[in-house]
Amino acid sequence: MDLQSETIEKIDKLVPRYPTMKSAALPLCHLVQEDQGYLSKEAMEWIADRLDLQPINIMELVTFYPMLRTEPTGRHHIRVCRTLPCALAGAYQTCKKLEEAFNCKVGHTSADGEVTLEYVECHADCGKAPVVMVGEDEYTNITPESAEEFATKLKNGAL
């Protein structure tokens, strides 16, 4: 496993703070995923080994928590909230516009590897619906009318 020294440092600082090693499993999944982009079989085995656990103890978390991934995403990871308040504000139409703009079906990664487009559940910002996340950043009021402009800005690195 080739982790950045900063990640190792964070992990070494974090593990002893918890009363049990196993409690650090989910935080370590986050840190390793942030470092590697996803959690490979090798990564899960590494985390298990670091915490004196069995690989299954990590794999059962990865298959339970939706944010943990076993495959890399495209360069931009776009998450469109589709839960009721966002849907009432047009989230499904917003997503259709994004599908067209990036030539990528929702639930997939575009052929050029530029974007992964996903539906996600409520992100707790329903007052500014529809909500779209790109990587770790949140964008609000991405209506069907403004979705195209949003996509153009993202493509041009102007977000």
Partner 1 sequence: MEHQQHRLIFKHIDEPGYTNDIDCYIKHGGYEQLKKAVTMKPEDICAEVLESGVRGRGGAGFPAGMKWKFLDRKSGKPIYLVCNCDESEPGTFKDREIVHQDPHQLIEGMMCSAFAIQAKLAFIYIRGEFFQGYKILERAIEEAREKNLLGDNILGSGYSCDIIVHRGAGAYICGEETGLIESIEGNRANPRIKPPYFPAALGLYQCPTIVNNVETLCDVKHIIEMGGKGFSEIGTPGNTGTRIWCVSGHVQKPGYYEFPCSAVTLGELIYDVCGGLKPGRKLKAVIPGGSSAKILRADERFTGKLKDGTEFDWGIEDIPMDFDSLMAVGSMSGSGGVIVMDDTTDMVEALANINYFYAHESCGQCTPCREGVPWMRKVTQRMVDGNAREEDADLLKNIADQIAGRTICAFGEAASWPVQSFIAKFKDEFVEKAREQAARRKDGKEAATETTLI
Number of C-beta neighbours around residue 52 at 10 A? 9
Contact map string, positions 48 to 87, toward partner 1, x by CB under 8 A: ---------x--xx--xxxxx-------------xxxx-x
146 binds partner 1 (CB under 8 A): no
The two three-digit tokens of residue 63, written as one number: 């298959």
Contacts (Cβ under 8 Å, ≥6 apart) of 120: 66, 79, 80, 81, 82, 133
C-alpha triplet 6, 10, 14: angle, nearest 5°: 170
Q: Which long-range contacts (CB under 8 A, 24 or more apart) does 97-101 make?
A: 97/144, 97/147, 97/148, 97/151, 98/132, 98/147, 98/150, 98/151, 101/147, 101/148, 101/151, 101/152, 101/155
Rule CB under 8 A: say whether 5 interacts with partner 1: no
Neighbouring C-beta atoms of residue 152, cutoff 10 Å: 12
Among 4, 6, 9, 23, binds partner 1 (CB under 8 A): 23
Contact flag: residue 30 with partner 1 (CB under 8 A): yes
Binding characters for partner 1, 94-113, by CB under 8 A (x = yes): --------------------
Determine, following the binding rule CB under 8 A, whether residue 18 of this chain makes contact with partner 1. Answer: yes
For the bound state, the minimum distance from the C-beta of residue 112 to partner 1, rounded and expressed in Å, comes to 26
39 touches partner 1 (CB under 8 A):
no
Shortest distance, position 15 Cβ to partner 1, whole Å: 11
Identify the residue among 40, 70, 93, 146 touching partner 1 (CB under 8 A).
93
Name the site residues for partner 1 (rule: CB under 8 A): 17-20, 22-27, 29-30, 57, 60-61, 64-68, 82-85, 87-90, 92-93, 120-129, 133, 136-138
